[in-house]
Amino acid sequence: MIQVNGYAAQQAKAPLKSYSFERREPRDHDVAIDIQYCGICHTDIHQVRNEWGASTFPMVPGHEIAGVVTGIGAKSTRYKMGDRVAVGCFVDSCRKCDPCREGLEQYCAEGPTLTYNAVERDGKNRTQGGYSNKIVVDENYVLRIPENIPMNRAAPLLCAGITLYSPLMHWSAGPGKNVGIIGLGGLGHMGVKIAHALGAEVTVLSHSLRKQEDGKKMGADKFYATSDPETFEKLKVYFDLLINTLAVEIDWNKYLNLLALDGTMVVVGIPEKETPIGAYSLISARRSLAGSVIGGIRETQEMLDFCSKNNIACDIELIPIQSVNEAYERVINSDVRYRFVIDMKSLESKD
């Protein structure tokens, strides 16, 4: 077994504290990775606080992992020692269902094996995430980080990047398309960068104009405050595609009315409460309301390569792991521009 150090929550809503545990030695097709950086996702906070239910403890969160290969299974061929690699939101899937065979493992019929707060396919071992210094993962669920993307800025691409890339590609964002990004946070800022690189006209819909300068630098063509009622009048039937990144409750009907004929609003954030929808906002312009979650392994690698080609990376604030609990509070208060990343070398420091 491999001895691992990390940070864990021992129970729901408890602060994360230093925690030691064991991971398996690499099996035939596994790679062992020394984790250098791990992003903080709002999902980590939901899970640690058991806000979605089904959380199990002790829990080591983290599914935006960047590191270096330090061990290789006997039959592993995809990676070599020292390779820059990444692990995202899941570490396995059934590999047999139609979605898995099509490279859509995130929609595995049996459910993908999540990077943490899950049980491996053997039904015995619990998964623990990237707020730790080592991880062992099947090579088929590991990604390669392009050389020109800094590893600390690459880590959040494994969730924030692919969460926006996948729907933008699926709904054909590109030249001639008016794309609106609802919320300019950890997810939204990646949506702006990727949609701009795809050639779409990009509009940010944010609560206020406070981040307008940032949004324009990232590639936004337009920026509107949703706290201004006139915004919803000016932009009626304007967008071909809206991506709603918010994890808080908003009136989806107001935003649906911003869609042009045959427009689509895609939900990628998960509010705690159900959102009521009126039929008229859909049928009046043959609009669609859809959802999307991360991406498969093939598409995630495609996203990393796309970001490499277009010089895209996350805007981050690098922190020591000892500051993780403070960072959680700042995420909740939207006080980060735009993604926290933990420098795992800080684990070597005395808590």
* 147 and 120 together in one domain: yes
Helices (H), the chain: 42-48, 98-101, 151-154, 160-170, 188-198, 212-218, 230-234, 252-256, 280-283, 297-309, 324-332
Q: What is the CATH number of the domain that holds 279?
A: 3.40.50.720
Half-sphere exposure of 8 (CA within 13 A, CB side): 20
Contact 252, 243 (CB under 8 A): no
Contact 318, 343 (CB under 8 A): yes
Residue 349 pLDDT more than 80? no
Q: How far is CA 169 from the centre of its chain?
A: 16
Contact 69, 36 (CB under 8 A): no
Q: Which domain holds residue 328?
A: 2-159+315-348
Contact 60, 151 (CB under 8 A): no
pLDDT tens digit sequence for 80-113: 999 999 999 999 999 999 999 999 999 999 999 9
* 110 and 206 together in one domain: no
End residue of a domain, out of 248, 276, 291: 291
* 125 and 52 together in one domain: yes
Query: 208 to each of 70, 184, 213, 318, 338, how far by Cα in Å?
Result: 46, 10, 12, 26, 16
Q: What is the CATH number of the domain that holds 319?
A: 3.90.180.10
State how far the Cα of 211 lies from the Cα of 117, in Å rounded to an integer: 34
Residue 350 pLDDT more than 60? no
Confidence of residue 272 (pLDDT cuts 50, 70, 90): confident
Contact 35, 134 (CB under 8 A): yes
* 34 and 111 together in one domain: yes
Number of domains in the chain: 2
* 191 and 49 together in one domain: no
pLDDT on residue 329: 96
What is the percent of the chain with per-residue pLDDT over 90, rounded to a whole number?
93
Q: Which range has the worst mean pLDDT, 78-92, 206-220, 336-350?
A: 336-350
Confidence of residue 237 (pLDDT cuts 50, 70, 90): very high
DSSP 8-state symbol, 291: E
Q: Is the pTM above the cut of 0.85? A: yes
* 126 and 220 together in one domain: no
Residue 32 phi, psi dihedral angles, 5° rounding: -100, 140
Residue 270 pLDDT more than 90? no
132 lies in a domain?
Answer: yes
203 lies in a domain?
Answer: yes
pLDDT on residue 274: 86
168 lies in a domain?
Answer: yes
Is 293 buried (19+), middle (13-18) or exposed (0-12) by CB count in 10 A? Answer: middle
pLDDT tens digit sequence for 102-142: 999 999 999 999 999 999 998 889 999 999 999 999 999 99
pLDDT on residue 351: 53
* 119 and 191 together in one domain: no
Site of tokens 């009048």: 233
102 lies in a domain?
Answer: yes
DSSP 8-state symbol, 27: -
193 lies in a domain?
Answer: yes
* 103 and 23 together in one domain: yes
Contact 186, 42 (CB under 8 A): yes
Q: What is the mean pLDDT of residues 316-322?
A: 97
State how far the Cα of 241 lies from the Cα of 173, in Å rounded to an integer: 8
| C-alpha torsion 164→170→176→182, nearest 10 | -30
* 211 and 80 together in one domain: no
State how far the Cα of 79 lies from the Cα of 71, in Å rounded to an integer: 10
31 lies in a domain?
Answer: yes
* 270 and 230 together in one domain: yes
6 lies in a domain?
Answer: yes
Q: Single out the residue of 102, 132, 110 nearest to residue 37, CA to CA.
A: 132
The mean predicted confidence, pLDDT, of the chain is: 96
214 lies in a domain?
Answer: yes
Q: Which two tokens stand for residue 299?
A: 């598409």
* 213 and 85 together in one domain: no
End residue of a domain, out of 256, 276, 291: 291
* 106 and 195 together in one domain: no
User: DSSP string covering 165-223, please?
Assistant: HHHHHHTT--TT-EEEEE--STTHHHHHHHHHHHT-EEEEEESSSTTHHHHHHHT-SEE
